[in-house]
A and B are shown apart, each in its own frame.
Chain A
Amino acid sequence: MKLTKYYKVADNTFSVTAEADLYAEMDKYNIFAANVGDTVFDLELVNEAFDVQYVTEIKQDEEDQQIICGHLDNGDSVFEFGLYGRREGVLVSTPDYSGAKLYLDGDDTQYAIDNAMMVIYALATAKMSTLLFHAAVVEYCGKAYMFLGKSGTGKSTHARLWLRNFPEATLLNDDNPVVRIVDGKSIQVFGSPWSGKTPCYKNEVYPLGAIVALSQAKCNKINVLSGIMAYAAVRPAISGKRWDSKIADALHTSENFLAQHAKTYHLDCLPDNAAAILCNQTVVSN
């Protein structure tokens, strides 16, 4: 029997419709459960193969994970998710990303659901001043501090150094927090059901304290970034499909707001306690 459930992440409500047993793969979404309401997208999950030919727009490959983006003749968007070269699922959505169907025909159902959900969430909410980030975030004295960097830079490591050195700090999310500009003025950072390899799924929100872009280095050094430099540091950390100009326009508007209003820093760092202390003293006290 099919069931529809509602969830709310960063104040954006969406629905999922699936056979009841598929929800066993979605335990971590439970704390984001919401009442029936207006949705930004509706996603249906089906245990079926997707065998329709589509036009490939781009293939991306990162750390054994593949995503192929394309479209059907009728204009619908297609996203195919692979793991170690095996297809795990295919997401087909309306051109405005408000309705989507995920075809599950692989072994790793959870992987397909999480990736499809992140893609459709990022695209459907872009126009709601919402940004799905690639970052680790700690909450410290009621504010969120976000650590950005390419995979392997040490975002999670730096977040853990904050937890070790500052007992009042907690991990809000380790990989995919959501940032939202509320009422065109305040920048809020939300936990999400997606957190990479670390199970840290918190339905909590804090005002942004600062954004810190990390680079590995031989010594610890921190600089303020402003204007275009802040924009350039923030933009690569945000998921999107920028060759869709509506998405690109919406993301740019939010990113430009962050560049002008978010406290942003660049930290050259070692993976040591001193890096966390330098960072904390600089970004919290300012």
Chain B
Amino acid sequence: MRIKNGFVVREVCAQKVVLAEGTSNIDFGKLLTLNDTAEFLWNQAESQGDFTVESLTTALCGEYDVDSSTAAKDVKHIVDLWKQYGILE
């Protein structure tokens, strides 16, 4: 899966936020705040292009001191949220 075109990360009041700025997501009507870990995962997802829960988990374990089963659970949780919001394809 991958992040759909038209989503960008901007800094709003010193916090990282995902915003819809494309032609196909003009009615998105939401914004998502990212904490440091979520921002790391978002950047990974963007740079990997076609990513999986496993590929993000590997990246997360490489960056943070976290065991792989906890990391996998957290990654799945956030990826499920992104799916639910229609951000992924």
- Is A84 an interface position by the 8 A CB rule? no
A60 touches B23 (CB 8 A): no
Q: What residues make up the interface of B, taking CB atoms closer than 8 Å to A?
A: 6, 8, 10-13, 15, 17, 19-23, 26, 29, 31, 33
Q: What residues make up the interface of A, taking CB atoms closer than 8 Å to B?
A: 57-58, 60, 69, 227-228, 231-232, 235-236, 242-243, 245, 248, 252, 256, 259-260
B31 touches A259 (CB 8 A): no
With both beta carbons as reference points, the residue of chain B lying nearest to A58 in the complex is identified as B23
Q: How many angstroms from the CA of A236 to the CA of B29 in the assembled complex?
A: 8
A228-B33, A242-B21, A243-B23 given; A252·B10 CB < 8 A: yes
The SS class assigned to the A binding surface is helix
A231 touches B29 (CB 8 A): no
Q: What are the residues of chain B within 8 A of A60 when measuring CB–CB?
A: 26
Q: How many angstroms from the CA of A227 to the CA of B8 in the assembled complex?
A: 19
Q: How far is the CB of A188 from chain B (nearest CB, A)?
A: 22
With both beta carbons as reference points, the residue of chain B lying nearest to A252 in the complex is identified as B10
Q: How many angstroms from the CA of A60 to the CA of B24 in the assembled complex?
A: 11
Q: How far is the CB of B85 from chain A (nearest CB, A)?
A: 14
Q: Can you name 23 A-B residue pairings with CB atoms under 8 Å?
A: A57-B23, A58-B26, A60-B26, A69-B23, A227-B13, A227-B15, A228-B13, A228-B17, A228-B31, A231-B12, A231-B17, A231-B31, A236-B29, A242-B20, A242-B21, A242-B26, A243-B22, A243-B23, A256-B10, A256-B11, A256-B13, A259-B12, A259-B13
